Amino acid sequence: MVKNTSYHHGNLREQIVKTAFKILDEESIDSIGVRKIARILEVAHSAPANHFQNKQDLLTTLATESFRHLVSIIDKKIPQSRVSLQEAIHYFCDTILKYGLQYPNRYKLLWRTEYTDDKDSELDEAMEEIYVRLTSILKTHAQKIHTDIESQAIAFWALIHGYVLLRLDENLKEGFDEVTGLERQRAIVDVLINGIE
């Protein structure tokens, strides 16, 4: 199915990324291995080296693509400026949570810089786009906000980011968060919105 009679694979790089994502989604970050991927694709254990310098390079590619994917999701139905600040913030936060719940390991990979190459400018720029989306929401409603917009952005980002990770790592002990779905998230985000208005 994947095997190709020709010596040259043709689109091996693409297949490697695809397989790596599959392992990432079905298992974990640490389950990703270059030899394992090569075995799955029925190719020599060292074949991936032609397309990725090393494992970190591969993970950096996964992170960069994931960032772009997430940004594209956000942009798909980004609220117009006429909606309320609350609506816009909730849209942003809901999208992040939804993505995290759907792709837990991708979400973790996005922010764990020890796995990726911190000198990679493409990754840097892809990540930056997330912050741009959030700050632009706050800026369009700046008239409602008193004081420092940067602190507000960091506050919202820390809140939603922390909550998503707590959910993904199952750090909210039993009974501590039996409210599922988006309800809890809406509640805590509302507290913060209440704090800035």
Partner DNA sequence: ATCATATATTGACAGTGTCAATTTAAACTC
Partner DNA sequence: GAGTTTAAATTGACACTGTCAATATATGAT
Binding site for its own copies (CB under 8 A): 28, 30, 111-114, 118, 124, 127-128, 131, 148, 150-155, 157-163, 165-166, 169-173, 176-177, 184, 187-188, 191-196
SS (H, E, C) 21-53: HHHHHHCCCCCCCHHHHHHHCCCCCCHHHHCCC
Shortest distance in whole angstroms from residue 100 CB to DNA? 25
Contact pick of 12, 62, 74, 127 for DNA (by CB under 7 A): 12
Per rule CB under 7 A, is residue 82 in the interface with DNA?
Answer: no
Per rule CB under 7 A, is residue 98 in the interface with DNA?
Answer: no
Q: How far apart are CA 101 and CA 104, in angstroms?
A: 5
Q: How far apart are CA 6 and CA 159, in angstroms?
A: 52
In degrees, rounded to 5, the angle at the alpha carbon of residue 49 between the alpha carbons of residues 43 and 55 is 105
Using CB atoms within 10 Å of the CB of residue 114, give its burial: 0 to 12 exposed, 13 to 18 middle, 19+ buried: exposed
Shortest distance in whole angstroms from residue 7 CB to DNA? 3
Per rule CB under 7 A, is residue 2 in the interface with DNA?
Answer: no
Q: How far apart are CA 195 and CA 28, in angstroms?
A: 37
Written as six digits, the tokens of 82 are: 């006429």
5 vs 180 by CB, closer to DNA: 5
Shortest distance in whole angstroms from residue 54 CB to its own copies? 15
**Residue 106 binds which one of its own copies, DNA, none, with CB within 5 to 8 A depending on kind?**
none
User: From residue 5, how far is each of 10, 11, 42, 43, 99 by CA, in Å?
Assistant: 11, 13, 11, 11, 38
**Residue 34 binds which one of its own copies, DNA, none, with CB within 5 to 8 A depending on kind?**
DNA
**Residue 127 binds which one of DNA, its own copies, none, with CB within 5 to 8 A depending on kind?**
its own copies
Contact pick of 17, 21, 29, 56 for DNA (by CB under 7 A): 56
12 vs 89 by CB, closer to its own copies: 89
* H-type alpha helices, 84-120: 85-102, 104-111
Interacting residue ranges for DNA, rule: CB under 7 A: 6-10, 12, 32-36, 38-39, 43-47, 49-51, 53-56
